[in-house]
Amino acid sequence: MDFELPEEHQLAYESAFAFARDEIRPHNAEIERSDDFPRWMWEKLAEQGYTGVAIPEEYGGSGGDFLMAALVSRGIGRANGAIAMSFGAHLKLCATEYHSIGGSSNGCRTFHGLQDRLSCRRTHIYQAS
């Protein structure tokens, strides 16, 4: 049995960890002190395509699957566990629920409206380094 990750999943994990190491970890003390999830961080997560990682591209997501979403969350969690928990809650309680009820054009419009509110953008889940 092969337990190796597919290359795109490995790249997603490495990219998410590098992003979190460079963009989240330097702000850990500030985040802990303020006990807040900064709005700008949602925007940065969205710019990377992470906020829609498990949503198909035709619905405005990044086209990944749940394994990729878990790996992205793990990468973020290596830099800040609280941010990873909030991110995971967003994926399960918000983004994927909109998608699961949104197979129709109405759901698609709903998810795109949510994207606008969360500053989601159609970008690839991983970036070439």
Residues in the chain: 129
Domain 7-118: which CATH number of 3.90.1200.10, 1.10.540.10, 3.40.190.10, 3.10.110.10: 1.10.540.10
Q: Which residue has the tokens 């003390």?
A: 29
pLDDT-flagged residues of the chain (< 70): 95-129
Give the dihedral sign, CA 44/48/53/59: positive
Q: What is the pLDDT of residues 59-68, one digit of tens each?
A: 777 888 889 9
What pTM did the predictor assign? 0.75
pLDDT for position 73: 95
Is residue 37 helix, strand or coil?
Answer: coil
pLDDT for position 78: 96
91 CB-near residues (< 8 Å, 6+ apart): 51, 53, 54, 69, 73
pLDDT for position 8: 93
